[in-house]
Amino acid sequence: MLTHFINGETVPSINGGSFVLDQASRAAKPIEVTRGDAQDAASAVESAAAALPAWRNISSQERGRALQRVADALRADIDRFAQAESLDTGKPIELSRAEVTGAADYFEFYATLVNLPVGEVLDIEPGLHVHTIREPYGVVGIITPWNLPLNQAARACAPALLAGNTVVLKPAEVTPTTSIMFAELCKHVGLPDGVLNVVLGQGSVVGTAIVEHPTVSKVAFTGSVPVGRTISRVAAERILPLTLELGGKSACVVFEDSDLDLAAKEIVRAFTTNAGQVCSSGTRLLVQESVHDALVGKIVDRVKALREGVDVGPIITQQQFGTVKDYLQVAEDEGATAAVGGSGSAVDEAGCYVAPTVYTNVDNSMRIAQEEVFGPVLAVIKFSSEDEAIALANDSDFGLAGGVFSHDIAQAMRVASAIQAGQIYINSWSTQSVQMPFGGHKLSGYGREKGIEAVNHYSQVKSVSINLGAVTA
Ligand code: NAP
Ligand code: MG
């Protein structure tokens, strides 16, 4: 049975809860997984609180070395982690390998940051010395979704640990395996007991318990808008600081002077990677009308060449598969036309596979253009002018990512600055690097993960003023 990892040990639930995880028929046999409750969450929080003084008070160099050992161990163990991730999620093994490498990259990047100077000295007046220091929040709760389980856990854990916090991590119930393996790996390379705890269970129970626990001083949540709202309400009572990384309906704007082959290649990657189960997927294509047909033709050709199970994997669960299929029906009922894929094309019920689908004849007010599908579905919308493209891109409740394809760099820069989103890609889609801060505008959330910026969200500034007495010299 897969169990919690608390205070350096694997432990079952205090009240004995468990459930059977049937990985959408991918596993040789279903596995039994611990299902915790508020008592287990409290136990994990207490463990993190007990480990806090020692962890925050060791030298930052030593913390950095620990993070580097985690990075090295992950790289050395990539096969085992990638296989486990592919089993839980169904994603192609090469994608899992890239995500494990990305997880190691996070730890490596934040390990190097220990060498950066922290804090400022403020020149205010003679006889007054003021400096600022950064302090950890304390116990940080990290709640992650199922789409990139290990990678998203590492994205939040690495800066949180670097800043001197201790962590209680709660993965999504359908993808618990690599988070537990990760905690075991951290212990193996010498992370002190209690510094990283993983508690398993349902979000509405264990997740809520973490957010409500009075000892938790900060929560980083990656997931859906409705759950983000629920957590925000609980946090409001406690004045609890949050980082919210939520959904998206990101637009890619393609102007008529663009390299259409490059645009087609990047857009197909943008909406089919991880079968579209990526928060920053490019799921709306805004294309200048003069090149609409040419670009759609190139995209359709590329989609037809994608191999099921190699380039595009399944949808994570039967439930999510049902949601994606419903959206295909919604789009067609609204009058969209499937240029490739669609509800009538091959959908593999048992394997939860949805053929990548491109809809034309879409109006931006349709549900297929406004709502996050979290499947491999692209909505194509025509525009005529730059102003119209910007207005369409911003006519969305979300604001996670955006793209611009243009040979006119001034135009690309104008549009990039006008799109309301946390990250913009010019002449590419989804440049991902650990150094690049990542987060949302509008319903896509607030706070930032990644880059040096993330450290500011896992620590708080203290100003210290020292009265030096009268200065006469
Ligand atoms: P979700 O349903 O919101 O769940 C996310 C996590 O929150 C899971 O661990 C879930 O646990 C937990 N949870 C559920 N209810 C909770 C509650 N009341 N209190 C505390 N925690 C609770 O999201 P998902 O379906 O897993 O993931 C898909 C969503 O994540 C999409 O909207 C996607 O855009 C977003 N996402 C955003 C980013 C980003 O960086 N912006 C990255 C990846 C995904 P259980 O599932 O175990 O119940
Ligand atoms: Mg969910």
Angle at 143 between CA 141 and CA 149, to 5 degrees: 130
Q: Ligand 1 pocket test: which of 33, 143, 283 has the largest number of ligand atoms within 8 Å of its C-beta?
A: 143
CA nearest 201: which of 210, 189, 192?
210
Contact 380 CB / ligand 1 (< 6 Å) = no
- Most distant CA pair in the chain: distance in Å? 86
Q: Ligand 1 pocket test: which of 147, 315, 434 has the largest number of ligand atoms within 8 Å of its C-beta?
A: 147
* Model confidence, pTM: 0.97
Looking up tokens 């669609």 gives: 342
Q: What confidence tens digit (pLDDT) does each residue in 55-68 have?
A: 999 999 999 999 99
Q: Cα of 222 to ligand 2 centre, how many Å?
A: 11
What's the 3-state SS for the chain? CECEEECCEEECCCCCCEEEECCCCCCCCCEEEECCCHHHHHHHHHHHHHHHHHHHHCCHHHHHHHHHHHHHHHHHCHHHHHHHHHHHHCCCHHHHHHHHHHHHHHHHHHHHHHHCCCCCEEEEECCEEEEEEEEECCEEEEECCCCCHHHHHHHHHHHHHHCCCEEEEECCCCCCHHHHHHHHHHHHCCCCCCCEEECCCCHHHHHHHHHHCCCEEEEEEECCHHHHHHHHHHHHHHCCCEEEECCCCEEEEECCCCCHHHHHHHHHHHHHHHHHCCCCCEEEEEEEHHHHHHHHHHHHHHHHCCCECCCECCCCCHHHHHHHHHHHHHHHHCCCEEEECCCCCCEECCCCEECCEEEECCCCCCHHHHCCCCCCEEEEEEECCHHHHHHHHHCCCEECEEEEECCCHHHHHHHHHHCCCCEEEECCCCCCCCCCCECCEECCEECCECHHHHHHHCEEEEEEEEECCCCCC
Structure tokens of 430? 């989804």
Q: Cα of 89 to ligand 2 centre, how many Å?
A: 14
pLDDT at res. 25: 63
Contact 18 CB / ligand 1 (< 6 Å) = no
Contact 212 CB / ligand 1 (< 6 Å) = no
CA separation for the pair 182, 191 (Å, rounded):
11
Contact 347, 354 (CB under 8 A): yes
Looking up tokens 């028929």 gives: 25
CA separation for the pair 35, 13 (Å, rounded):
7
Residue 379 phi/psi, 5° resolution?
-105, 125
CA 91 to chain centre: 16
| Contact residues for 385 (Cβ-Cβ < 8 A; gap 6+) | none
Residue 427: count of CB within 10 angstroms of its CB? 17
Contact 202 CB / ligand 1 (< 6 Å) = yes
Q: What confidence tens digit (pLDDT) does each residue in 273-298 have?
A: 999 999 999 999 999 999 999 999 99
pLDDT at res. 42: 98
Q: What residues of the chain score a pLDDT lower than 50? A: none
Which atom of ligand 1 approaches the CA of 445 most closely? 41
Known catalytic residues are: 245, 279
Contact 156 CB / ligand 1 (< 6 Å) = no
